[in-house]
Amino acid sequence: MFTQTLFSVYASLVFSLAASNPAEPLGITPANTTPVADTLRYEKETHLRNLRQLTNGGNNAEAYFSFNGKYLVFQSDFSGWGNQCDQIHYMPVKGTTKGAMPPRVSTGLGRTTCSYFLPGDKTILYASTHLSAKECPETPRFVNGKYVWGIYPSYDIFVADRKGKILRQLTNEPGYDAEATVSPDGKKIVFTSTRSGDLELWTMNIDGSDVRQVTRDLGYDGGAFFSPDSKKLVFRASRPKTPEAVKLYKDLLEEGLVQPTDMEVFTCNVDGSDLRQITNLGKANWAPFYHPSGKKIIFTSNHHLPGGRVFNLFSINADGTGLEQITFDKVFDAFPMFSPDGKKFAFSSNRFNGGGQDTNVFVADWVE
Interior angle at CA 163, CA 159 and CA 166, nearest 5: 30
Instruction: Indicate whether 5 pLDDT > 90.
Output: no
Of 148, 173, 71, which is closest to residue 115 (Cα–Cα)?
Answer: 71
Instruction: Indicate whether 104 pLDDT > 70.
Output: yes
- DSSP secondary structure letter of residue 80: G
Q: What is residue 20's predicted lDDT score, i.e. its pLDDT?
A: 32
Biggest CA–CA distance in the chain, Å, is 58
The DSSP code sequence of 295-334 is SEEEEEE-TTSGGG--BEEEEEETTS---EE----SSBEE
- Each residue's pLDDT tens digit, 48-66: 999 999 999 999 999 999 9
Q: What is residue 18's predicted lDDT score, i.e. its pLDDT?
A: 33
Instruction: Indicate whether 224 pLDDT > 50.
Output: yes
- Each residue's pLDDT tens digit, 343-357: 999 999 999 998 888
- Each residue's pLDDT tens digit, 271-330: 999 999 999 999 999 999 999 999 999 999 999 999 899 999 999 999 999 999 999 999
- Each residue's pLDDT tens digit, 175-201: 999 999 999 999 999 999 999 999 999
Classify domain 6-366 by CATH number: 2.120.10.30
- Reported pTM: 0.91
Q: Which helix (H) or strand (E) holds 7?
A: helix 6-16
Q: Which helix (H) or strand (E) holds 248?
A: helix 243-254
Q: What is residue 214's predicted lDDT score, i.e. its pLDDT?
A: 98
Q: Is the dihedral of CA 287, 158, 256, 350 positive or negative?
A: positive
